[in-house]
Structure 1
């Protein structure tokens, strides 16, 4: 016959086996709320990106229609200092993880407006690089990761279609010159491109849809 202590130990063992250790501490994941993201956009982001993330200043990215996972990753990396920008670090530092998910969901839910290429002389070169790369210099096609339409791949590669050419050009030069350091794959690709090629592919992307 079991003693009271043995019975208690047996009961505790049964409860432990039946209930995972994490169950007591687990809380339901907070539901993403685009409405809260819209409020944050108006209060924090709108001055640079417009209230709905549309076609604002060419030096700043269009956020409409961007994959939410990508936006959260960039905000997190600005906050952590992995992506360098004094301005964005200040704003991102104000946001909680939930805030980032909410504002990303708000922008992702917007329909991105089409853009247009500006330089007819360069757009042919830009299309060649985007769709086929430059084989003799081992430069891969942009479409391999960002898709032929520029839609990107959620959680992996950002949407590019219609993005401001000024912004894309700045980012590619940043990767190439070691200013932007939060994506080694892009650093390796951009390192092989010259200024003319960067401008060409950036202009082509602006008109891609």
Structure 2
């Protein structure tokens, strides 16, 4: 693992993303096996009232959109992604994210090297409305679940190009990323996203390595202000943490994450500009 420092680059203030993470899914209603509804509304039994999860497992919450189906169930019905098929399906993504997943515009996240299921999951979130973005809603709506996995497999097969970090922000960003701040109840980022920023594909914690600081900062600010990408517990992780970060913390973390990358096997690890 190594860092790239921008010796003279000012601190990035407007955006950088840490996203990338998180999943949003709820249990899919199984109407075909639901018991017949009583003719008259009956009060909830004591056991049901004491365990609301039981009721929610058989029917969606009142007012919940039908599209908020469980991602785990939807994706479980698909085959592993095919990167070759995904290349053609991802062609439209290249306008913003780069044909190889390395976006040249820092407002759009790098997708190169991101985990297949994380990308598929987020595409499903955009399509269902669990994650709000008008542009991505239009892009994701026509996609079938297998398309999402194929696109995820294609970008997962690419390598994220290294970014650079502002040297003035590295110390603060590194401390928060590696150690957190126990006094303020802030956990270390690497606990979920790994010391090198590669994330955890099994838990669907996204890769952060070399992500644009501008994008990371923008997403951390959103989380800080209470934006979440779903209603299930997993989607509440980042809003809960980010609300404890101040603007200086966010800028430092975002810059540090952009400079975080895994060194080439044949390259020496260096922290020089």
Task: Tell me the TM-score normalized by structure 2.
Answer: 0.64
1:40 deviation in Å? 1.4
Q: Which residue is 2:139 aligned to?
A: 91
Task: For residues 113-157 of structure 1, give each alpha carbon's deviation from its aligned partner in whole angstroms, at most 9, with x where no partner exists.
Answer: 11111x222111000100000111010000100001111011321
User: Structure 1 47/139 Cα, relative in aligned 2: closer, same or farther at 3 Å?
Assistant: same
2:84 corresponds, among 24, 31, 35, to: 35
Structure 1 counterpart SS, 2:119 = helix
User: Structure 1 136/195 Cα, relative in aligned 2: closer, same or farther at 3 Å?
Assistant: same
Q: Which residue is 2:40 aligned to?
A: none
Q: Which residue is 1:206 aligned to?
A: 258
Aligned residues: 180
Larger Rg: 1
Unaligned runs of 5+ in 1: 1-27
Single out whichever of 141-150 and 154-163 deviates more from structure 2: 154-163
Indicate if the aligned counterparts of 2:80 and 2:149 stay in contact, CA closer than 8 A: no
Task: Tell me the TM-score normalized by structure 1.
Answer: 0.82
1:50 deviation in Å? 1.1
1:135 corresponds, among 176, 179, 182, to: 182
1:102 corresponds, among 150, 158, 162, to: 150
Query: Relative to total residues, which structure has the larger helix share, 1 or 2?
Result: 1
1:72-91 to 2 correspondence within 5 Å?
Answer: 72-91=120-139
Q: Which residue is 2:27 aligned to?
A: none
Which structure has more relative contact order (CA 8 Å, sep 6+)? It is 2
Task: For residues 46-88 of structure 1, give each alpha carbon's deviation from its aligned partner in whole angstroms, at most 9, with x where no partner exists.
Answer: 1111111113210111000001111111100010000110111
User: Structure 1 79/155 Cα, relative in aligned 2: closer, same or farther at 3 Å?
Assistant: farther
Unaligned runs of 5+ in 2: 1-76, 262-273
1:177 deviation in Å? 0.8
What is the alpha-carbon distance in structure 1 between the residues aligned to residue 258 and residue 167 of structure 2?
12
What is the alpha-carbon distance in structure 2 between the residues aligned to residue 199 and residue 176 of structure 1?
13
What is the alpha-carbon distance in structure 2 between the residues aligned to residue 185 and residue 31 of structure 1?
27
What is the alpha-carbon distance in structure 2 between the residues aligned to residue 146 and residue 101 of structure 1?
21
1:194 corresponds, among 246, 249, 259, to: 246
Q: Report whether the alignment pairs 1:176 with 2:228.
A: no
Indicate if the aligned counterparts of 1:70 and 1:155 stay in contact, CA closer than 8 A: no
Indicate if the aligned counterparts of 1:146 and 1:153 stay in contact, CA closer than 8 A: yes
What is the alpha-carbon distance in structure 1 between the residues aligned to residue 174 and residue 199 of structure 2?
16
Indicate if the aligned counterparts of 1:67 and 1:155 stay in contact, CA closer than 8 A: no
Aligned CA-pair RMSD: 1.4
